[in-house]
Amino acid sequence: QNRTSDQQVMDSFHEKLQEKVTEMCQKMREDMYKVYEKNSDDMQGKIQELFEVLDSCAKLNQELLEAVQALASLREGLAITQMSEP
């Protein structure tokens, strides 16, 4: 009878331990997903900011290219004017 009682206690302990471990694993999984989601949101914001900066850089680059072309045309115009003067 002691042996049966001991076995029941051990079985009950084992079952409760399994439930607790399952519960803790589920909580850890949920917490992990929350962290993943937060990190994903943070990264999405940073990527969006990066795209905005890159877009701004592309626009500035285009403006600089246009300025370089305008200066080159001006320089050519000045060179032609100087050559045509006596």
Estimate to the nearest angstrom the gap between the alpha carbon of 68 and the chain centroid: 36
pLDDT value at residue 43: 97
Tens-digit pLDDT string for the chain (86 aa): 788 999 999 999 999 999 999 999 999 999 999 999 999 999 999 999 999 999 999 999 999 999 999 999 999 988 888 777 66
Distance (Å) of CA 13 to CA 4, 9, 19, 85: 14, 6, 10, 106
Q: Encoding tokens for residue 55?
A: 């877009």
Check residue 59 and give its pLDDT: 98
Amino acid at 24: M
pLDDT for 86: 63
